[in-house]
Amino acid sequence: MANGSDWHHQRHIAAPAFMGERLKSYAGLMVECTKRMLQSLENAVESGQTEVEIGGYMTRVSADIISRAEFDSSYEKGKRIFHLLTELQSLCHQATRHLCLPGSRFFPSNYNRQIKSKKMEMDKLLLEIIQSRKDCVEIGRSSSYGNDLLGMLVNEMESRRIDGFNINLQLIMDECKTFFFAGHETTSLLLTWTIMLLASNPTWQEKVRAEVNEVCNGEAPSIDHLSKFNLLNMVINESLRLYPPATLLPRMAFEDIKLGDLHIPKGLQVWIPVLAIHHSKEIWGEDANEFNPDRFASKPFAPGRHFIPFATGPRNCIGQAFAMMEAKIILAMLISRFSFQISDRYRHAPVVVLTIKPKYGVQVYLKPLNS
């Protein structure tokens, strides 16, 4: 099964941007952006604000990271692209509440005009950024397309020259949108839900804090530290199980497939109920709806079988690596600087808006650990 015929090209175009020294540079960028976010939290506490809605801070820091990683030299346009993607997501969710008639997406309604307008503006911004970099190289003003993620992707596009420029350009634009979503939307929600769970489970919060302090020894987390965060990784996996960013995954059969007693013909689209799988008592036991990170220490769960952390597939796995690195760095830095507990005002109300979001936010009490 697959969800697009361009995966092969997209995997090979994107992969070089997530190897070796490039990954280390992203880790440094994440640390710097997180330091600014933590300073803003400290400023809020020093001004007398002991309770914060942590989701807003996670949204801003993840947006800052992906905008700088993807569009470093075009940061302002990158921020605008991010806002357009967020608005398009909200508009697309509105469509799930209404009955859609065949061909209704072609009607000149205000809703369709908004979607078309925002998509055109976003594509125009992406084209402007890409073309300006190509022009700079062609006239000799620059020797590269840039050191950010977009520059790496354009360089791969030019070096491979797959299928002609227009198709390549569309692949690059699709990758930019994918990484914006994986590096921002899913990550900010993962961070928000994980903080809520740790704030509600102080014993696990202390365990993870002790691990981070032991591994980092007072230093900022680096890419070499990440594989040593065993407890933090267990907590993140349990958070993703309880609140998966994607509640449903569409897949299309590229050939006839036999699944148990089911015959799935070529061309049929299948929807995988991720949320139901992650909360199945048959798979996870009677405590399937409870927070229990130890379940990931007792036995392995392969992504794509019982546990689907983000979205499976070559292209999405590349984005997933970026998102997981980002989540671990931000959580490690936050938990080593603050202790936090859930606010009395917090109302637990997960809602599905393409992803699972806290309807009323996540309010927590913060206490700096150095006070």
Please state, in angstroms and rounded to a whole number, the distance separating the CA atoms of residues 193 and 172. Answer: 31
291: left (phi over 0), alpha (psi -120 to 50) or beta: beta
Among 359, 297, 333, 316, smallest CA distance to 195 is for: 333
Alpha-carbon distance of 205 to 235, in angstroms, equals 9
H, E, C per residue of 3-54: CCCCHHHHHHHHHHHHCHHHHHHHHHHHHHHHHHHHHHHHHHHHCCCCEEEH
Q: The tokens of 141 are what? A: 């003003």
- Give the pair of three-digit tokens for residue 241: 């199980």
Least Cα distance to 26 among 77, 62, 80, 57 occurs for 62
Residues 6+ apart with CB under 8 A from 121: 84
C-alpha span between 58 and 35 (Å, rounded): 12
Tell me the C-alpha distance between 204 and 296, whole Å.
Answer: 14
Q: Give, for 352, the enclosing helix (H) or strand (E).
A: strand 350-353
Question: Does 216 carry a binding-site annotation?
Answer: no
Q: Which residues are annotated as a binding site for heme?
A: 317
Report the binding-site residues. 317
